[in-house]
Amino acid sequence: MDVELADPSSEAALTLFDIPCRNTLTPSQLIQLINLIETQVKNRNPDLFDTHRFNRRLHP
């Protein structure tokens, strides 16, 4: 599934590709999904990543 993330405060938008879509997620799958999204955002738009990253402890 392709997903578009939009930042209303700056009007920046970024489309992420090949994001898995499931009805239910285990805690491990959820962490993997967050890491996948953060990796794509970080690689394609580092400024957006620095502004909105989920877990600052993992990505100082």
* pLDDT at 17 (0 to 100): 85
C-alpha to C-alpha distance for 30 and 40, rounded to whole angstroms: 16
Listed in sequence order, the residues at least 6 apart from 38 whose beta carbon sits closer than 8 Å to its beta carbon are 49, 53, 54, 55, 59
pLDDT in tens, the chain (60 residues): 888 888 777 777 888 888 888 889 899 988 888 888 888 888 888 877 776 666 555 555
Residue ranges of domains in the chain: 3-52
C-beta neighbour count of 41 within 10 angstroms? 21
pTM of the complete model: 0.66
C-alpha to C-alpha distance for 49 and 59, rounded to whole angstroms: 10
